Structure 1
Amino acid sequence: MTDDLSAPPTLTAHCPDDLLAMVPLVIGFTPEDSVVMLTFAARRAFHARVDLPPPERPDLLDDLSDALLEPAERHGVRLVAFVVHTEDADLARRAAAVLVAAFTGSGIEVIDALHADGLRWRPAVGQRAGLPADGVPYDVSEHRFAAQAVVAGRVVHGTRAELARSVAADPERVAAVSLALEEPPVGPVARGDWRAVAVWVRGTIAHHIEHRTVPSDAEAASILLAITTVRVRDAAWHLMLDAPVDQHVELWTDLVRRAPAALLAAPASLLGVAAWLAGHGALAWCAVDRCREHHPDYSLARLVEDALQQAMPPETMSGGWHWEDGLDASA
């Protein structure tokens, strides 16, 4: 699993403690059994997390390195730092050695490589004079970056599993929306007037974005039903280009948690787009995963997945089309 190949918040690191404190803020959760790559001096900075292979599969470390090196080369990264999160010191050293060799061999300077076990950090490659033999204690919760994140409203989850639970189905709310879906459609949906449907969907979403509210069960049911039509879905997507994206993340998170499985593909994919645009790559992956649980071949989820894997900048989806394109009565 590769997470958060996306734009990071702006933070400046001067020491190992700063690097360690950056990780959960730019990834969105505290990693376990992972390598995190922090990039600097690039055409477009991005950060990434990759699962460590099992200790008995060191042959997979080259694949891990390739998964990080390819986007780093494509985006002109000149400086990187690695933090290997694991309790297995031997695996951390082996992973760091492979990464440092691959990146320096490609002309990318590795400014630091740390092993963090959750309580202490130590160099993952070589020795460093003056450090305790058992590592240096650290606590990222007390770091100034954590305070900045609180002020900025950036949520950090304890683990990736906790982050995934934040977009999991809420059975009671799914049942309420399912009940609302039993009512026959009315208005433009009943008439098949898809342009009018798109206007209503956009207006309803814009209203809730402006007022920081969530749709009623009836509204949620109508939105979820309407965006099964691709052009209506894309009209909702287009709204993200003109409004605070974090508020779209909140709205689509709410709708994903309320969506019946049969209607999950479109809202989960739209959450993936919103999270990607907002720089929340790990959340975008969780949204893609939710879509793939029930709709593994949904094209927009695949588009988000490709964007994340290739560290594509969000501005690649920032224009060139209008929400009314292709929206006629037959949509």
Structure 2
Amino acid sequence: MTSTERPRLAVRSPADLLAAVPYLLGFHPADSVVAVALRGRQIIFAARADLPDPSEDPVERARHLAGVIHRQGAEAATVVGYGPPDRVTPTVDAVRAALAGAGLDVLDALRVTDGRWWSYLCAETDCCPPEGRPYDPTASTVTASAVFAGQVALPDRAALVAKVSPVEGPARAALSAATDRAERRLTELIDEAPASDLLGGRTLRAAGVAAIREAQRRQRRDERLDDDEVAWLGLLLTHLPVRDHAWERTDGRDRDIALWTDVLRRVEPELTAAPGALLAFAAWRAGQGALAAVALERVLDQHPDYSLALLLDDLLRRGVPPSDLDGWPSVGVPGVVRHRKRSRRRRR
């Protein structure tokens, strides 16, 4: 499941809502159920889940989706199912029931199939004919407003996954060579640390702070890190005090998302955990829950026990609003102490 908070879009009709959904999620959904949460007349949140398999009971997934929407402080919601009727209808029905059970008004329930939409709640043939209504999202003023505001709707979720996929070919070979050089540099750095610096911890942190400061300075100037800088930063981020320093300096700014996306795609697979988790945190803080989700999927596929990724995955799945961390880093992340203790127990 992915969730996101996005800038306001003026929605006045079902067609407008359908045009807005891809910009709320960041991509055009398919074989999905989407719940759009409202407070008053304002869209405050959107959450998406895959349609369950035909043999799967949709009730449990529906209850989870409704719980996520309820935690946003929503008053009402509209449900949209994308796909064939035999899969969409039972899922939308289950989500409607779960939302109502959570005390939320269901304003509408829609199905989108092959470029047409139907309403499950409207029986007026003038506005909701049995053959459905065609819609063209590109013709909506909502689409124009979203594009003007800089929002992006990728063709599908696969296109979003591609944004965090590793570079390949000659670029990968160059990064592998740069990582070998960074490892030799790291060995020399630790060997040259003073005897009073146990295991070179202070030396590593100082090098990491300098690398992070330089990376963020370069990002502010729209300058891309070279291969040696990416490999060096990726290696230093495996030291938890360095990772935590980077975390404290990361928020939902565009430059944070751009930096950690670039580093995630370019570092070697064994170094993806920290930059991937930092990207997920930045994307979540920016309200780009779908991007956060695909970044976490990549991290947890390669590093299933990485505590920061597990923490962020838990926040995302529970639908914790990014606004809960307004004031970061002076306010703490819910659950972070618990996850760190759990991580230390595993290492013992």
When normalised by structure 2's length, the TM-score is 0.84
Q: Which whole-Å CA distance do the structure 2 matches of 1:146 and 1:44 have between them?
A: 15
For 2:242, the equivalent position in structure 1 comes to 232
1:219 aligns with 2:229: yes
* SS of aligned partner of 1:185: helix
Q: Over residues 101-159 of structure 1, what are the superposed CA-to-partner deviations in whole Å (9 max), with x where a residue is unaligned?
A: 23223321011111011400011345233133311111212322222332333222111
* SS of aligned partner of 1:240: coil
For 1:197, the equivalent position in structure 2 comes to 207
- Report if aligned partners of 2:280, 2:295 keep a CA contact under 8 Å in 1: yes
Q: Over residues 220-278 of structure 1, what are the superposed CA-to-partner deviations in whole Å (9 max), with x where a residue is unaligned?
A: 0110001001110111122224xx61211111111111111111111111111111111
One-letter amino acid of the counterpart of residue 50, structure 1? A
Per the alignment, do residues 189 and 116 of structure 1 end up closer, same or farther by CA in structure 2, a change over 3 Å counting? Answer: farther
Aligned length: 315
Q: Which whole-Å CA distance do the structure 2 matches of 1:80 and 1:315 have between them?
A: 20
Q: Which has the higher contact order (CA 8 A, sep 6+)?
A: 1
* SS of aligned partner of 1:176: helix
* SS of aligned partner of 2:185: coil
Q: Which whole-Å CA distance do the structure 2 matches of 1:316 and 1:124 have between them?
A: 35
One-letter amino acid of the counterpart of residue 46, structure 1? F
For 2:196, the equivalent position in structure 1 comes to none
For 2:146, the equivalent position in structure 1 comes to 149
- Report if aligned partners of 1:93, 1:125 keep a CA contact under 8 Å in 2: no
Per the alignment, do residues 237 and 32 of structure 1 end up closer, same or farther by CA in structure 2, a change over 3 Å counting? Answer: same
* SS of aligned partner of 1:171: coil
One-letter amino acid of the counterpart of residue 101, structure 2? G
- Report if aligned partners of 2:59, 2:94 keep a CA contact under 8 Å in 1: yes
Q: How does 1:103-252 map to 2 (within 5 A)?
A: 103-125=99-121, 127-130=123-126, 131-172=128-169, 173-183=171-181, 184-185=184-185, 191=193, 192=200, 193-241=203-251, 245-252=253-260
Q: Which whole-Å CA distance do the structure 2 matches of 1:126 and 1:11 have between them?
A: 24
Q: Which whole-Å CA distance do the structure 2 matches of 1:179 and 1:66 have between them?
A: 49
Per the alignment, do residues 312 and 188 of structure 1 end up closer, same or farther by CA in structure 2, a change over 3 Å counting? Answer: farther
For 1:36, the equivalent position in structure 2 comes to 34
One-letter amino acid of the counterpart of residue 141, structure 2? R
- Report if aligned partners of 2:112, 2:118 keep a CA contact under 8 Å in 1: yes
For 2:335, the equivalent position in structure 1 comes to none
**Structure 1 unaligned spans of 5+:** 323-331
Q: 1:101 aligns with which of 89, 97, 107?
A: 97
For 1:275, the equivalent position in structure 2 comes to 283
One-letter amino acid of the counterpart of residue 3, structure 1? T
Quick one: percent identity of the two aligned structures?
34
Q: Which whole-Å CA distance do the structure 2 matches of 1:39 and 1:249 have between them?
A: 25
When normalised by structure 1's length, the TM-score is 0.88
For 1:92, the equivalent position in structure 2 comes to 88
Deviation at 1:321?
7.0
* SS of aligned partner of 1:45: strand
Deviation at 1:194?
2.8
For 2:45, the equivalent position in structure 1 comes to 46
**Structure 2 unaligned spans of 5+:** 194-199, 333-348
- Report if aligned partners of 1:92, 1:124 keep a CA contact under 8 Å in 2: no
Per the alignment, do residues 189 and 178 of structure 1 end up closer, same or farther by CA in structure 2, a change over 3 Å counting? Answer: farther
Q: Over residues 294-317 of structure 1, what are the superposed CA-to-partner deviations in whole Å (9 max), with x where a residue is unaligned?
A: 101101111110111112122444
Higher deviation after alignment, 12-21 or 310-319: 310-319
Per the alignment, do residues 189 and 214 of structure 1 end up closer, same or farther by CA in structure 2, a change over 3 Å counting? Answer: farther
- Name the Cα RMSD after superposition: 2.2
1:66 aligns with 2:74: no
Deviation at 1:21?
1.0
For 2:19, the equivalent position in structure 1 comes to 21
Misfit runs of 4+, over 4 Å: 186-190
